[in-house]
Amino acid sequence: MAQKRASILRAAKECFLNVGYEGASMESIAAGANVSIMTLYRHADSKDDLFEAVISAACEHKVDVGPESALIKRPLRELLLQVADLFQERLSNAETLALLRAVMIENQRFPKLAEAAYEGFIEAWKNNLEALFSHRVEFADISVNDRKKMLSEFIDGLIGADILRLLLGGKGLSGAEKGRRAEAATDTLVAKIS
């Protein structure tokens, strides 16, 4: 069952990337996954559901965030820089950009897709950071709401106008420029909790 679901998601992603949301059909996705249309409908009620699942899968980044996690034991600045690098790389990779372009094309007719993409690509990162840093001693005396605000501002500091350039097919920031942005967002957050 899990293999079939993975096959369906791969076929749906490929279809959305190749022909866009509008051009994709449940029939073409079923054919790409080598399953019957009935099997496809057992796994997803609609094309919207499949698109949301593709977005969710593209955003998935499972990490052990428990108090005994190796990540938790790393120095705060080092951990923040690693998160910043990973986030920037995920947001600017070719597949993510292609999915975001598909969402933008269909936004007027299917605003729910845009919300799902934002939730998956941005809010999910903020929620994961909240879970990760809720175990850090540096945040022990900071209220949950303040911690969420700080971590949200950290993620916001990693996104610049260059994302628009990337979405339009232009060149993004260099590795060094991304590194400077990661350091600036990290230093701002560390200063707030010090």
118-166 pLDDT, tens digit each: 888 888 888 888 888 888 889 989 999 999 999 999 999 999 999 999 9
Residue 92 predicted with pLDDT over 60: yes
- pTM summary value: 0.81
Looking at the domain 1-56, which fold is it? Arc Repressor Mutant, subunit A (1.10.10)
User: Quick one: pLDDT at residue 61?
Assistant: 61
Tell me the CB-side half-sphere exposure of residue 105, using CA atoms within 13 A: 15
Residue 81 predicted with pLDDT over 90: yes
3-state secondary structure of 155: helix
- Give domain 60-192's CATH superfamily: Tetracycline Repressor, domain 2 (1.10.357.10)
- At 95-126, the pLDDT tens digits run 889 888 888 888 887 788 788 888 888 888 88
- At 164-191, the pLDDT tens digits run 999 999 999 999 999 999 999 999 999 9
| Ramachandran class of 34: left when φ > 0, alpha when ψ lies in -120 to 50, beta otherwise | left
User: Domain ranges in the chain?
Assistant: 1-56, 60-192
CA distance 54 to 103: 12
Residue 63 predicted with pLDDT over 60: no
Residue 32 predicted with pLDDT over 80: yes
User: Quick one: pLDDT at residue 64?
Assistant: 54
